[in-house]
């Protein structure tokens, strides 16, 4: 079993504290959702988990598979099996989806076993077609340049395909609000549902209550003002769906300074 443990995480951007002591643990086999209104620091958490240099960790720890990963590069984190869905959001003209995935897969395999010689082309092709089939993707996509001219839905599918191929132990999906249409929501949730099992844990970050119509997390956390203010099971998701975030704002609002 692998585990991502976030302890008392404080993160600043340009000197402004955004995360203010966040605690969370996600194990393989579990599906967690972090929900919260815009501007509460959800994406900041995702970028910090990835190791983005603009996000300064001023206090706290992030443990993954028994190691404190704060000093590790984004690449190292990914090779260790921590997957962040927006890790390669840019288009890479000249690099096909298949080539990109094969390179990524081989570096992950080498991280797990330094003697690994890399996956053979026939073996890779078989695996790729199998995963594309699982995600109902047109196999032609494999030969296209990564994200080059992809629609929002295609980018999402490519992300989920990457997840299927790399088999991360913990996957973090930041569903940023822009461009997340019903179609993309459905793709992400079908992918997550198809891929989750005892060997993978998922943390879905979103402000969309709607996502919960598609993904059924076992654990739901509400984030507000840089910390997790409530954690619960699926009933918390139902409450958010019915009541939105107004009650969260009222309950956890910072007192207005005199």
Considering CB distances under 5 to 8 angstroms, the limit depending on partner class, which of Mg ion, ligand ADP, none binds residue 14?
ligand ADP
Backbone angles phi, psi at 135, to 5 degrees: -95, 10
Residue 28 and residue 257: Cα distance in Å, rounded? 42
Query: Shortest distance, CB of residue 228 to ligand ADP, whole angstroms?
Result: 12
Considering CB distances under 5 to 8 angstroms, the limit depending on partner class, which of ligand ADP, Mg ion, none binds residue 225?
none
Query: Shortest distance, CB of residue 197 to ligand ADP, whole angstroms?
Result: 28
Summarize as ranges the residues that interact with Mg ion (CB under 5 A). 42-43, 176
Residue with nearest beta carbon to Mg ion: 43
DSSP labels for 169-212?
Answer: SEEEEEE-STT--HHHHHHHHHHHHHH-BTTBEEEEEES-GGGG
Cα distances (angstroms) measured from residue 237 to each of 36, 161, 189, 244 = 11, 27, 15, 10
Query: Which residue lies nearer to ligand ADP by CB, 42 or 157?
Result: 42
Query: Which residue lies nearer to Mg ion by CB, 33 or 101?
Result: 33
Instruction: Name which of residues 34 to 93 contact ligand ADP (CB under 6 A).
Output: 36, 38-44, 54
Query: Which residue lies nearer to ligand ADP by CB, 105 or 237?
Result: 237
The residues that touch ligand ADP, with contacts defined as CB under 6 A, are: 13-14, 18, 36, 38-44, 54
């Amino acid at each position: 079993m692998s585990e991502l443990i976030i302890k008392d995480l404080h993160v600043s951007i340009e000197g402004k504290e955004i995360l203010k002591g966040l605690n969370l643990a996600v194990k393989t086999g579990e599906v967690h959702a972090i929900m919260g209104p815009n501007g509460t620091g959800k994406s900041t958490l995702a970028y910090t988990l990835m190791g983005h240099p603009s996000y300064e960790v001023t206090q706290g720890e992030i443990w993954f598979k028994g190691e404190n990963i704060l000093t590790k590069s984004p690449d190292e984190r990914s090779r260790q099996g921590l997957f962040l869905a927006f890790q390669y959001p840019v288009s890479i003209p000249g690099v096909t989806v298949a080539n990109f995935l094969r390179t990524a897969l081989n570096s992950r395999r080498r991280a797990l076993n330094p003697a690994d010689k890399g996956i053979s082309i026939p073996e890779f092709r078989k695996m790729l077609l199998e995963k594309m089939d699982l995600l109902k993707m047109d196999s032609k996509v494999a030969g296209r340049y990564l994200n080059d001219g992809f629609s929002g839905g295609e980018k999402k599918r490519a992300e989920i395909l990457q997840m299927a191929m790399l088999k991360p132990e913990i996957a973090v999906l930041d569903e940023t609000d822009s461009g997340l249409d019903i179609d993309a929501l459905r793709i992400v949730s079908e992918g997550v549902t198809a891929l989750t099992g005892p060997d993978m844990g998922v943390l879905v970050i979103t402000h969309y209550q709607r996502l919960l119509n598609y993904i059924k997390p076992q654990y739901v956390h509400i984030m507000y003002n840089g910390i997790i203010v409530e954690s619960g099971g699926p009933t918390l998701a139902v409450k958010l769906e019915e009541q939105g975030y107004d009650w969260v704002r009222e309950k956890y609002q910072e007192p207005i300074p005199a």
